[in-house]
Amino acid sequence: MSEEEYACNGSCGTGEFGAMYKQASPCHHMNLPQNLLEPVMVRYVTTRVFSVRFDTELVSFREENGGERFVCLVPGPKVSTLDLVDKGNFCLLIEFAGVGIWAIWTQFFPPANSAPITEKNLPRQDGKVFIITGGSSGIGFELCKILYGVGGKVYMLTRSKSNAADARSRIIQSFDETDANQTGIVDFIHMDLEDLASVQTAAKEFLLREKRLNVLFNNAGVASVKDRKTKQGLEYHFGVNSVGHILLQKLLMPLLAETAQMAPADSVRVIWSASILTELMSPLGGISVDHLNNPSADINEHYSASKTGNWFAASEFAKRVGRRQASSWYYPFRPALRDPIHGAWTYLWMAFYKDVTMDDAVTGKYAMCDGRWHPGQREDLLLALKTKEEGGTGQAAAYFDWCETKVGPFLLE
């Protein structure tokens, strides 16, 4: 790539740009070659806002503090021109923190119609039982509707009875009366993840009702909650997003193991949700384990780290009990800011796709939008998944050990 290839087509501003680390003339517009195959990295120092238009897509990111950042752009087959347009007080800026350009880009703009499993081709699930936490809205709601439509028995575990009732009504009404014999059952059990006693009660009630559990979807979560702790005094994001789900899974493990004994091999699974902010905003190593008992005031770090905690929990469960508990599986995934149905399709891929293996769970792999493996994660997060004896930092194991001290008093005897 030569500097001349990325020369500006007009001098129209004072932004400082460089293409592939080469300085170009200051401008707001750069024409890219029609058949460019490599990513383009544009460096600039500014506090204005730019938008980037790819064909009909308009993408923008806010950066309030200004300063030096990077924007990485990957032209696709239909994209030949990159326009950086001055808009005022925002910038198109992403600081990738060691993650590959494509790994981020493809999560916001995945290949069209690429989901291997959707509601259109999911096999019948008659006789199977599912739990979806936070199933009354968003991704959880879409997943409940899909599984109900193919004959599954679905339990929403949420804290609002009225929201669950409304969601249940909308799910049932979305199917024609002629489909009544083909649909399943959708039910509700109250559970408030900010109170471990409530999680324990919900698990007890489920165990009284059911004799099997085919898939547990640890879906519910919160974000951007200030100055609040759980009933047990935990930082709110960690308590609700991660610790509460760890307790739920521990309480249901015996039933998951029993179900695996009578179900097809490798079909009983546990799915965890994560976030793209795990790779963009979590601290070094994913979680500052030494600060869990005395967290900072940074709610953005708490959210991203709690979602990293879900990844760590999924990996640790798979290592510690997955193989010897008759092939119960654990996978995290990370939804981007897209229509909730895409997150539901990702769940379906992890829950039912045969090529997703137990070995993938043990090594800590996780999926991203529509049902694909992430192409490459931050090195510090991969090291955190490994023990010190394996050449890693042991942060995932340390986090899981910390969580076990919190949930221990609520385990059933």
DSSP conformation letters of 370-396 = TTEE-S---HHHHHHHS-GGGTS--HH
Amino acid at 200: Q
| CB of 17 closer than 8 Å to CB of 24 | yes
Q: Where are the domains of the chain?
A: 4-95, 129-410
Q: Which strands, in side-by-side order, build the sheet including 68-73?
A: 22-23, 18-19, 40-45, 68-73
Q: Are 132 and 154 in contact (CB under 8 A)?
A: yes
Burial-class residue 339 by CB neighbours within 10 Å (0-12, 13-18, 19+): exposed
The pair of structure tokens assigned to 200 is 């324990």
| pLDDT for res 35 | 35
CB-count burial class (<10 Å; 0-12, 13-18, 19+) for 67:
exposed
The torsion of the CA quartet 384, 387, 388, 390, rounded to 10 degrees, works out to -110
Over the chain (413 residues), what is each successive 10-residue block's mean pLDDT?
28 29 29 36 34 32 36 34 33 44 70 89 97 95 97 97 96 84 94 98 98 96 92 96 97 95 89 84 88 88 92 90 56 65 92 84 78 82 93 96 97 81
Helix%, strand%, coil% for the chain, nearest 5: 40, 20, 45
- The CATH label, of 3.10.520.10, 3.40.50.720, 2.60.120.10, 3.30.70.1060, for the domain at 129-410 is 3.40.50.720
Residue type, 97: A
Tell me if residue 10 falls in helix, strand or coil.
coil
> Token pair of 153, please?
């028995």
Query: Residue 336: its pLDDT value, please?
Result: 54
- Rounded to whole angstroms, the Cα distance separating 49 from 118 reads 38
Residues for the chain: how many in total? 413
pTM over 0.85: no
Alpha carbons 329 and 326: distance in angstroms, whole number: 9
Q: How far apart are CA 397 and CA 277, in angstroms?
A: 21
Structure tokens at 280: 């963009």
Alpha-carbon gap, residue 78 to 74, rounded angstroms: 11
- The residues annotated as belonging to the active site are 303
Around Cβ 257, how many Cβ atoms within 10 Å? 17
pLDDT at 62: 32
Quick one: pLDDT at residue 329? Answer: 56
Rounded-to-integer distance, Cα 237 and Cα 223, Å: 7
CA 381 to chain centre: 15
Name residue, tokens 């895409």: 342
Could you tell me the sign of the dihedral formed by the alpha carbons of 211, 273, 116, 178, in that order?
Answer: positive
For 297-306, b/e burial (b = at least 16 CB within 10 A) is eebebbbbbb
What SS3 class is residue 401? helix
Spatial distance between the Cα atoms of 219 and 135, rounded to a whole number of angstroms = 8
